[in-house]
Structure 1
């Protein structure tokens, strides 16, 4: 990704959010999009004028596609202007002066058909796959089913609005293609709405993940969601967090549970050691600890104790090791051949000394 230069009009050197943005743009915008715009304001006010899509994604714990989607949204809303190179990469972002804009509310684009949230489930970042569309005749046939009628009624209650055509298409896809029962469809919507996610793309992504994992009943879905909520709660308590894990944090936890196969007890031990050594909830540091344990085939806390003991013994042996005396260095003096003296030599030396009057 190329570097992006950031420019603005009518924005001071402190992070000020124009009232027109709060009054006219924020209420109808996706929360993730609002975060991107606020971060751009902060970058400009802090003179962080050189940035990239990937740096914004890392800072906001989002994907690059989601950042691009947010930037395109605000460009359509005319509150920023994007400049692109021949490869269609964004090279500059120009924040517009909202005070010069008309007070007339903007016409909001319809984002029901777009993935306006990071479509993640409790396990992975599954993206909705392409699916067929149902004809009006087929929809009429399926909606005559009493199970589907009841599920549609409950879904309307969860969404707190009448069903749209795309809602019908998704419900029928879940029932016909993924073979979800009416009870599982209702629980799917209940689960997603409880997390504040009413977007159809998000709901579909969760459904696809469940289908891939063989979750085909309401009971299995409840067990799976409860299990992962337990994993998240374990990490939150260990790190002293009072919020839901972010996207990248969820990916780490998923890796520890699904790839490494560690229990909550082992994960908690790694989190505790992270806090002791770094004095902060550092997911990267915890991941390094768990990766080391995984490579050493740790299965229980007893294995961790064994590794600690081996490390301690190794350190003591290293400290107690006697350093052998080195061989005397060779120099021009000890390289000189030593002379051997006889008794006659000593007598001759004594006679010479006496003759000199000593």
Structure 2
């Protein structure tokens, strides 16, 4: 293969890159693939016949393996924006790269002549679905679709316009995406990347589709490997019973605090979430109270929780105490082996421990006799 590069002492030229590539194709690709495309496009645009470049040249200039360059060209060919033209030498890895005109592709795929379409035809020349106004009206009547649009409005902090809604419905059909994964794509774009552009979200959807991600479960596995923070949001919200709900900005700040400031593991946070089983309306604030308490007490692991529970259990036993008045007869039984004789005066608290029960009985009897004779006048 070959690329032409103009010979100059200092490269002060320009390489025009179409906005269609930047807006629609670049967001869906790995960074290495983008670099390979741009450098190859530059070589093709320079048209210098004195310098021969090939895939090895690109690999060397980008400091990447040759295999990455070959995979990049396979990727862009699958996207339909380049063509690999094999040479006649029989080497499948030796080919020319033809960069297709993206503007022409866009016109070809999106603007089919009206005369070539029937009144009821809703499929474009590339067999993709084009949403009509009638389709949009009917889709809004479906609860899950309407909920999806409302969730996206909240994430975007504005209402979607009809054309944007139609485009989203086209994604669902063309990429076989369900409403939940569409909402996740908008959330990922806004909260993770800080970008509120529908075209950028479409790039994410395409990238997920190419990676075989068409449902929330597959997305969670992908994010677990690539984006731990986003994966935490997913697990915690699901553990608290919010299902597929999206955390608010304030909730995300609280969750981030548990990991960034308190340095808790996901295992510890989910352990705290278990305490919500007895609560009808669990909340992030309730979990925050538990984790803040653990943090202040220096509890960092599950073993620390177990040790704390044992210490607390011992304290509870020590603080129960005993009713020594009720325990006294039992002590006397153990000491004498006989059951003490109880009188009605045992119900009163003794003023001193110097008298036995028989002595107290005698004192009371004498006082009663003294009172009796005094009343009789004797």
Normalising by structure 1, report the TM-score.
0.34
Structure scoring higher RCO (CA < 8 A, sep ≥ 6) equals: 1
Normalising by structure 2, report the TM-score.
0.32
Larger Rg: 2
